[in-house]
Amino acid sequence: MDNWCPHRRGPLGQGWLEGKAVVCPWHSWAFDTTTGEAVPPDRGKVDIYGIKIEGEDVLVNLS
């Protein structure tokens, strides 16, 4: 998941999880970690990146 909230570019990596949503620490916008869609009533979307685990390595597909 992209680190930046589209609302005011808050750092999502400093937020917290509520169920399967990550919550922005600045204004509490929440985004589904599987789709990147904002949880209603907010609107917006963050990019989601596929991952693959190989042994001890975590590979991230950035394209």
DSSP H helices, 1-63, are none
In a domain, 41, yes or no: yes
State the CATH number of the domain containing residue 33. 2.102.10.10
Is residue 2 within 8 A of residue 12, CB to CB? The reply is yes
The pTM for the full model equals: 0.84
Task: Report the pLDDT value the prediction gives residue 44, as an integer from 0 to 100.
Answer: 94
pLDDT digits (tens, 9 = 90+) for 4-55: 999 999 999 999 999 999 999 999 999 999 999 999 999 999 999 999 999 9
Number of domains in the chain: 1
Sign of the C-alpha dihedral computed for residues 31, 8, 14 and 3 taken in this order: positive
In a domain, 3, yes or no: no
In a domain, 32, yes or no: yes
Domain that holds residue 56: 12-61
Task: Report the pLDDT value the prediction gives residue 63, as an integer from 0 to 100.
Answer: 80
In a domain, 43, yes or no: yes
Calpha distance 12→10 (Å, rounded): 6
Residue 35: closest CA among 3, 1, 61: 1
